[in-house]
Amino acid sequence: MKVTVLVPTYRRPDDLARCLSALLRQQRTPDQIVVVARADDQATHACLAGHATPQVLNVEVATVEEPGQVAALNRGLEAATGDVIAITDDDAAPHADWVARIAAHFEADDKLGALGGRDWVHEEGRVLDGECVLVGRVQRSGRIVGNHHLGVGEAREVDLLKGANMSYRRAAIGELRFDRRLRGSGAQTHNDMAFSMSVKRSGWKLVYDPRVAVDHFPAPRPGEDPRNAQTLASIRNAAYNFHLILRGNLSPLHRETAWWWWALIGTRVYPGLLHTGLSAVRAGSPAVAFARWRAVRGGAHEARRAIA
């Protein structure tokens, strides 16, 4: 079984260098590494020219003209030749046994379509540590449980995976590509959720194993989808993507249940009426809270109209 590692990158040469170094230390050498870069990204091309990994391993640079992570990932899928495509971010550093564990999972279970693992998040000089058994689930209410960065325990089936650490069987992907309808010019938030749920909906197993691990050093995102400084436009885009994915992948009853749960309750990130009211009281800024709510519900209604 051949394994391709796919790394989309854009103007983060220091992060990419760390990722490439981690791939050079793998116990099982990846059969192919595809780095997707913009043609005009001189910093990335300079990093690749000066790094040891492309001199030692089979590294292919796939160039893309269109901005955004969706276009980069789709270009990477076109260039990948492996039976398994292991995707990680340029700001992640896979553990030394990462490729070996991925290959072992897919070799052991021919019904396995996709595999995810823990990303150990490093922020402000510390590691976000914790233990969560519930990971990667869509609950009956429609609430999404992530926790991929905190998962513990044995390998188990899940409903969705996280983009910093997810691998796919080529046969499970087929002609599927990352959804170009998703909004945003940078990360196009939730593209990983959309892709993994589509693979599951087609009948393949999704498994999460916390031992399949990477270290993750979240870096600033370019474009309209910043990581820690969201604008109302980026919030609206993210909410649109989120609801488009739910409506496209849940059963009719489940998606209507989810619609009303998110409208009435929601979460801190995508507040419904309840969370908006709580935020207005706690923060003492009703205008800010209701501006966020309007952006979230605006994106949700646009997604509902897109998939009637």
Residue where a domain terminates, one of 164, 189, 216: 216
In the chain, what are the helix, strand and coil shares in percent, each to the nearest 5? 40, 20, 40
Q: Is pLDDT of 226 > 70? A: no
- 42 and 142 co-located in one domain: yes
- 85 and 160 co-located in one domain: yes
Averaged pLDDT for residues 288-302: 97
Angle at 308 between CA 73 and CA 201, to 5 degrees: 45
Asked if the structure places residue 277 within a domain, the reply is yes
Could you read off the pLDDT of 45-93 as tens digits, one per residue? 999 999 999 999 999 999 999 999 999 999 999 999 999 999 999 999 9
* Residue of 43, 96, 41, 97 whose CA lies nearest to 72: 41
- 203 and 59 co-located in one domain: yes
For 125-139, 165-179, 226-240, which range has the lowest pLDDT when averaged over its residues?
226-240
Rounded distance, CA 73 to CA 307, Å?
24
- 134 and 260 co-located in one domain: no
- 38 and 63 co-located in one domain: yes
Asked if the structure places residue 106 within a domain, the reply is yes
pTM for this structure?
0.95
Q: Is pLDDT of 185 > 60? A: yes
Asked if the structure places residue 224 within a domain, the reply is no
Asked if the structure places residue 64 within a domain, the reply is yes
Per the structure, the count of domains in the chain is 2
- 156 and 249 co-located in one domain: no
Confidence of residue 227 (pLDDT cuts 50, 70, 90): low
Confidence of residue 284 (pLDDT cuts 50, 70, 90): confident
- 189 and 266 co-located in one domain: no
The 3-state DSSP class for residue 168 equals: strand
19-35 in b/e burial notation, b at 16+ Cβ within 10 A?
bbebbbebeeebbbbbb
- 202 and 295 co-located in one domain: no
- 126 and 260 co-located in one domain: no
Residue where a domain terminates, one of 216, 241, 264: 216
Range of the domain at 266: 232-306
- 56 and 162 co-located in one domain: yes
- 48 and 165 co-located in one domain: yes
- CATH number (domain holding residue 71): 3.90.550.10
Rounded distance, CA 22 to CA 297, Å?
41
Averaged pLDDT for residues 165-175: 98
